[in-house]
């Protein structure tokens, strides 16, 4: 007897999604011994107080299921942190939920809020999990393209394109600021326009603010702080980027109780809970004095300056980065035309790994010549990468 199985076990809607570019490029880095400025993870550890608190929690029995919404100490610390830095008042019992990284918070929010066919307005290039989560929900993305300005090179969008992206099927706007991969920090004026459109079309906003403490130019303004937005905005952040612990996957969502409870409804069937010994440690980190946050910011700003100068020296076109872990570069001055080809060849050519940003666009032509470098690395690692890119290694 012969048995047959369906040819491709994967559901149709997920077939366009291959292996993430980060996995491909990080594997390439390991295989070739290249300096990995592709994936955005720091190569130094986070605050020692946080690491000690995690070790202590692990050794003293914090190893079973925490409460669904997260341990009270962490929910209180999240609420205090939002009050301290952004002036947002949150009830730790009903307006905060701890998640398995920002990624789960965003996925759960989209799955909780979108019916099949609903539209999500976002900006491209977008963080790659957005497209997958929107697709899994059966929703439709309406990306608005960010392009480097002719003068100055900061990424901007066309107001008319943003207005046109909103329509009768829009359910939510998904906004990432500071923005990965472009390093764009949305201005007060841009946020006011987004806020107006959300209210005019009566839609929700989900904001991904994982780089909230990594702004080097301009200022970080949570969309939730704009008039009329608190009640319709779910704010997402995470410990990973702020405390150099990207492997911990401790994130959170805050917002009005009805949005937080919708997220929790879905989240309980995705992971239920996570990282119980890490939760008290993140509570410690969130309560660190302001000095931690300013020193961390200053260190990353110096890294940004170092890498930006080095990339210019190596002949790239470089766009100003006002925040995040990243700077984007134009490969055309070096004779490149396609970022994917360029990045696949770069380890052999120069011994460095970068990420092509075109994979984060629906309109891939807009990003074909752009690649992203991470500067969340030790200065000597950045210097070594630059030496290699200049052909001096
Ligand atoms: C890293 C990153 C995330 C993922 O955060 P986790 O807490 O690791 O899930 C989400 N959004 C953006 C823009 C990121 O860069």
Asked if 260 and 68 touch (Cβ cutoff 8 Å), the reply is no
How far from 329 is each of 158, 326, 338, CA to CA, in Å? 21, 10, 12
- Retrieve residue 123's tokens: 């900006």
Distance 393 CA to ligand 1 centre (A): 33
246-258 per-position pLDDT tens digit: 999 999 999 999 9
pTM > 0.85: yes or no: yes
Token pair 């969340």 in the structure block, residue: 376
| DSSP 3-state of 29 | helix
Residues with CB under 6 A from ligand 1: 101-103, 127, 176, 180, 208, 210, 238, 240-241, 246, 249, 251
Give the separation between CA 37 and CA 372, rounded to whole angstroms.
8
Asked if 219 and 185 touch (Cβ cutoff 8 Å), the reply is yes
Q: Does residue 1 have a pLDDT over 80?
A: no
110-166 per-position pLDDT tens digit: 999 999 999 999 999 999 899 999 999 999 999 999 999 999 999 999 999 999 999
Q: What is the mean pLDDT of the chain?
A: 96
Distance 103 CA to ligand 1 centre (A): 6
Distance 211 CA to ligand 1 centre (A): 9
* Per-residue pLDDT band at 22 (split at 50, 70, 90): confident
Give the closest residue (by CA) to ligand 1 atom 15: 180
Give the separation between CA 16 and CA 25, rounded to whole angstroms.
19
* Per-residue pLDDT band at 217 (split at 50, 70, 90): confident
Measured from the Cα of 179, ligand 1's closest atom is: 13
Closest by alpha carbon to 352, among 322, 323, 316?
A: 316
305-328 core/surface letters (b: 16 or more CB in 10 A; e: else): ebbbebbeebebbbbbbbbbbbbb
pLDDT at residue 3 in the model: 66
Average pLDDT over residues 30-36: 92
Give the closest residue (by CA) to ligand 1 atom 2: 210
Give the separation between CA 110 and CA 390, rounded to whole angstroms.
43
């Amino acid at each position: 007897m012969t048995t047959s199985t369906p040819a491709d076990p994967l559901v149709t809607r997920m077939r366009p999604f291959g292996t993430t570019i980060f996995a491909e490029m990080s594997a390439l880095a390991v295989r070739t011994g290249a300096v990995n400025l592709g994936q955005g993870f720091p190569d130094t550890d986070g605050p020692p107080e946080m690491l000690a608190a995690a070790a202590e929690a692990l050794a003293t029995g914090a190893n079973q299921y925490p409460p669904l919404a997260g341990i009270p100490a962490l929910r209180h610390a999240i609420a205090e942190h939002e009050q301290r830095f952004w002036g947002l008042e949150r009830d730790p019992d009903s307006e905060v939920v701890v998640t398995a990284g920002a990624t789960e918070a965003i996925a759960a929010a989209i799955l909780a809020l979108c019916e099949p066919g609903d539209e999500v307005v976002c900006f491209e290039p977008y963080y790659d999990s957005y497209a997958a989560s929107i697709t899994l929900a059966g929703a439709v993305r309406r990306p608005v393209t960010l392009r480097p300005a002719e003068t100055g090179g900061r990424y901007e969008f066309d107001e008319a394109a943003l207005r046109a992206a909103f329509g009768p099927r829009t359910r939510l706007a998904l906004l990432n600021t500071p923005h990965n991969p472009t390093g764009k920090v949305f201005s007060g004026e841009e946020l006011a326009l987004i806020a107006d459109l959300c209210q005019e079309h009566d839609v929700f906003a989900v904001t991904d603010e994982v780089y909230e403490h990594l702004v080097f130019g301009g200022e970080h303004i949570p969309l939730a702080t704009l008039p009329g937005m608190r009640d319709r905005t779910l704010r997402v952040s995470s410990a990973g980027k702020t405390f150099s612990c990207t492997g911990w996957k401790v994130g959170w969502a805050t917002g009005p109780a009805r949005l937080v409870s919708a997220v929790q409804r879905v989240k309980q069937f995705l992971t239920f809970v996570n990282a119980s010994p890490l939760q008290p440690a993140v509570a410690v980190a969130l309560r660190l004095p302001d000095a931690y946050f300013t020193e961390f910011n200053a260190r990353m700003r110096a890294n940004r300056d170092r890498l930006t100068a080095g990339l210019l020296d190596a002949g790239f076109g470089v766009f100003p980065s006002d925040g995040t872990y990243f700077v984007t570069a134009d490969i055309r001055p070096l004779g490149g035309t396609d970022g994917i080809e360029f990045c696949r060849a770069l380890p052999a050519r120069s011994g460095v790994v970068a990420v092509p940003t075109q994979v984060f666009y629906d309109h891939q032509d807009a990003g074909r010549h752009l690649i992203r470098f991470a500067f969340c690395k030790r200065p000597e690692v950045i210097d070594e990468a630059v030496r290699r890119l200049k052909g001096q290694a």
